[in-house]
Amino acid sequence: MKPYAQLNCEQVYNVWSTDPDQIEIYDLRSQSDFEHMHIPGAKNILIENLEDQLKNLNGRLAILIASPEQIASAKYLNQYSNFALMGECHRWFEEGRPTTGLQIQSHSYFKGVTMGQGIIFHQLFEHESSTYTYLIADSETKEAALIDPVIETVERDLKLIAELGLKLVYVLDTHIHADHITAAGELRKRSQAKTAVSFEAEVNCVDIPLEDGQELFLGKKKITAIATPGHTNTCMTFLFEGMAFTGDALLIRGCGRTDFQQGSSEKLYDSVHNKIFQLPETTIIYPGHDYRGHTSSTVFQEKQYNPRLNVSQTKADFVRTMSELKLAQPKKIHEAVPANLGCGLISNGRVMHPQVADGIPEVSVEDVYSHAEAVKNKKIQLIDVRRPEEFNNELGHIQGSVLVTLGEELTNFLQTADKNSEIIFVCRSGGRSGQATMQSIQLGFKKTANMVGGMIRWNEKKQPVERN
């Protein structure tokens, strides 16, 4: 058999969780195995139908979950290079990565650690601020909470919640962040979830001002809020089923700074030693950020190996260490703190919140479609940069979009348009609209974005089109 390209479980997971529109997962197992449990978004197909799927991927990569015998029987695969085999498929389930189907495992495993019964858990990452967002849920009732969501990844998070069939009940922030804007307000607006942050933050728009020891429930599963001030005066650690979500109070082999937002080195030392380190040593630590590639730790490991806060360090040692740090202010502090005191809803006046890929803000087809009313009310401009003959061709155009062809016509438009306008650029596949987005940014526009996949993706998703 030809040595086809392979991706391991971790590689597939990284693409699936950060840029799922770039791949299509085809699960060639039996229908009964697929219905029992499968990766959200995967398609169950027969090996004899695979070739037709490979012919119509439009630049995406197919990930195949199949037995060696199935692959060996598909001689036609030699003609294609737009697929990869998923090796170590069993690890997806063993490590507790998201699954859907008729039966969720009675317990999940994450990095070999038993996490309790009936738990759905997902760790997500936002690259610009190196922020971890956590999705936790009760698999029986499907009630879920998001911890520390970021405004730029709202669409990703909502898509995952929908794919898993979950109901978002709570949006929790570990503190008032200075390095990113929370998605709490936007998620509440779009899901009816309740927002929660420490009562010390005095955020008027929050639904639940949390106090030390307060309990919230997902089905019969309990989230306990533990006040752990020090990084800021608003810090909370959330304890859930043997996991501690510590925000910036305790990082892996580190901790948050203490030099602004009513921070206190003395309080942070006490919070970590008297509260977090008093939890069972097997408790898994999930931090708010990581800058070195770590994903989790344990109370035992941090007590032993955290260079600032291990049990051999005195409070005086820690206070001295923190006083000697010479750190620049977070880049977004002047934008983020005021926005987060307003639940993240007063960030920059944007209606849509793109993710950034290779320096270009991008929004999905689904996001554009869900904001059709904003297009109709002129809060968002849809600028189609294709040629005139393409505007009404077989792909059609989006209702409310305006044709401004890339080149001299677009340059003239951008030179006279309001630079505070919110503009989404559209083309056939996303290439030309990406160029238009970059050009607009270079000319000083602050609220422009590219619709990923263009009209090809719009049609694939069976969204409505117009032809004049």
Per-residue pLDDT tens digits for 215-255: 999 999 999 999 999 999 999 999 999 999 999 999 999 99
Higher pLDDT, 330 or 270: 270
Type of residue found at 13: Y
Query: 316-320, 347-351, 444-448: which range is least confident on average?
Result: 347-351
pLDDT for residue 114 is more than 50 = no
Read off the pLDDT band of 323 (50, 70, 90). very high
Q: Which residues contact 278 (CB under 8 A, 6 or more apart)?
A: none
Read off the pLDDT band of 89 (50, 70, 90). low
As a whole number of angstroms, the distance between CA 336 and CA 176 comes to: 9
Q: What is the dihedral of CA 289, 290, 296, 301, to 10 degrees?
A: -110
Chain segment 260-310, per-residue pLDDT in tens: 889 999 999 999 999 999 999 989 999 999 888 788 999 999 999 999 999
pLDDT for residue 396 is more than 60 = yes
What number is the average pLDDT over the span 166-187? 94
Whole-Å CA distances, 116 to 58, 308, 335, 340: 41, 31, 39, 33
Chain segment 433-452, per-residue pLDDT in tens: 999 999 999 898 888 999 99
Chain segment 186-214, per-residue pLDDT in tens: 999 899 899 999 999 998 889 999 999 99
pTM of the model: 0.58
Among 180, 178, 264, 174, smallest CA distance to 227 is for: 174
Higher pLDDT, 34 or 314: 314
What local confidence, expressed as pLDDT, does residue 204 receive? 86
Chain segment 35-59, per-residue pLDDT in tens: 777 887 788 999 989 999 998 888 8
Segment (H or E) for 334: helix 333-340
The fraction of the chain above a pLDDT of 70, given in percent, is 92
pLDDT for residue 19 is more than 90 = no
Query: 142-156, 220-234, 364-378, 397-411: which range is least confident on average?
Result: 364-378
Higher pLDDT, 170 or 371: 170
Give the chain's mean pLDDT: 87
What number is the average pLDDT over the span 74-93? 81
Q: Which domains does the chain have, with CATH numbers?
A: 6-94 (3.40.250.10), 107-340 (3.60.15.10), 355-460 (3.40.250.10)
Q: Which residue has the tokens 């991008």?
A: 362
Give the number of other Cβ atoms within 10 Å of residue 461's Cβ.
12
Type of residue found at 161: I
pLDDT for residue 353 is more than 50 = yes
What local confidence, expressed as pLDDT, does residue 227 receive? 98
What local confidence, expressed as pLDDT, does residue 279 receive? 96
What local confidence, expressed as pLDDT, does residue 250 receive? 97
Q: Which residues contact 382 (CB under 8 A, 6 or more apart)?
A: 368, 375, 398, 400, 401, 402, 423, 424, 426
Sign of CA dihedral 33, 36, 40, 41: positive
Q: Are 39 and 96 in contact (CB under 8 A)?
A: no
What local confidence, expressed as pLDDT, does residue 88 receive? 64
Give the number of other Cβ atoms within 10 Å of residue 378's Cβ.
10
pLDDT for residue 427 is more than 50 = yes
